[in-house]
Amino acid sequence: MANSLPSIPLPPGIRSRYVEGINGLTMHVLEAGFEARGRPCVLLLHGFPELAFSWRKVMPALAQAGYHVIAPDQRGYGRTTGWSAEYDGDLAPFRLTNLVRDALGLVSAFGYRSVDAVIGHDFGSPVAAWCALLRPDVFRSVVMMSAPFAGAPKLPFDTADKPAMPAAEDPVHRELARLPRPRKHYQWYYSTREANADMMHAPQGLHDFLRAYYHHKSADWKHNRPSPLKSWSAEELAKLPTYYVMDVDKTMPETVADEMPSPAEIAANQWLPDGELAFYTGEYARTGFQGGLQWYRCGTSGAFEAELQLWSGKTIDVPSCFVAGKQDWGIYQRPGAFEAMQSSACTAMIACHLVDGSGHWVQQEQPAEINRLLLEFFKQATAGQRH
């Protein structure tokens, strides 16, 4: 089957290959800096709705700096196989600890006992964070991009003599629906049975849906001027753009259709020209979105919270860094997470960078600056580990 798939529009120096036997998967991996053995390794983890392909502008620079760079299509995505997209199937393979197991298995398959850094963007960011939290001996430093990590979920504390109240249902969803302009949270929409078909059969077509989605969350959409939210409440969440807190009666394709860029804007887009977008379109037309949506369902269902509480109070102690676009609302979509990451979740935070001229797709929108910041971080992280 792999031979019948269209070739990937990759820059020179990146190759596409398959690695079998990774935690039940055959993983599709993009690889750079593979020519010489013995190089230090870095692992790149993409988010939604992206692929390993989203790192195409980062990989050559890291390889040129002397690294072996590995970027997989993660479980549920692209050309990686061995996962089920059944809505009624088992969610457990998509939980965070198993995604860490995927990453660990891949690193091991390539013959590494440790990697210099794990770098995750969007939903890849919490996977990278959990990699560093669970196996700091393997993942020697971490870069979280666009999605801050607030730490492991807390266990009920000091309840022996005053029993904890049973967890109440989060009222925010009812409150959002009752606003004068009724709204709903995109992660709970992504958890519905309908979401995959809504996007696959977008009225404007899959290509134009993805074009509008990427545009709406980028710095090209001039209304992306993020600021911190005070609380997890309907009134505060309603300040988020509609790609995060949607109108209650709209699908995601209908939501982003209102912000479709003009033909002139599309022609001027340097960071995601139509030919590159066409690769994403072709891959999602083939696989659908459900594999990625399963990740959201693991979170919104709360089914794996107890497992994650095993690490309640544990911090990320390897050198860490956060990078996001200055025009990315993702920094603030979970009120308090950006601050908690710096004050309590990470004990060796070297830097937080907000890159001007970039929205959510920071390594695609501003790759030169991302490459500079990553290489600077690698130097600081290794210097810190030598002391």
Percentage of the chain modeled with pLDDT above 90: 94
Please report, for residues 51, 266, 324, 327, the alpha-carbon distance to residue 331 in angstroms, rounded to integers and kept in the order given.
21, 26, 7, 9
pLDDT, residue 165, reads: 75
**Model's pTM, two decimal places?**
0.97
Report domain extents, the chain. Answer: 2-154+305-386, 187-292
Q: Round to whole Å and give the CA distance between 183 and 175.
A: 9
- d(C-alpha 350, C-alpha 61), whole Å: 21
What gap in Å lies between CA 188 and CA 252, rounded to an integer?
12
> Is cis: bond before 241, omega within 30 of 0?
no
Residue 386: pLDDT band with limits 50, 70, 90:
low
Share the mean pLDDT of the chain: 96
CA dihedral 170, 173, 178, 179 (to 10 degrees): 110
Q: Does domain 2-154+305-386 have CATH number 3.30.230.70?
A: no
- CB neighbours (10 Å) of residue 175? 15
DSSP 108: H
Tens digit of each residue's pLDDT (9 = 90 or more) over 106-143 = 999 999 999 999 999 999 999 999 999 999 999 999 99
CA atoms within 13 A on the CB side of 39: 21
The per-residue pLDDT for 384 is 67
Which is nearest to 44 in space by CA: 26, 60, 22? Answer: 60
Residues 219-241: b if buried by 16+ CB within 10 A, e if exposed: bbbeebebeebeeeebebbbebb
Residue type, 327: Q
Which 3 state secondary structure label does DSSP give 376? helix
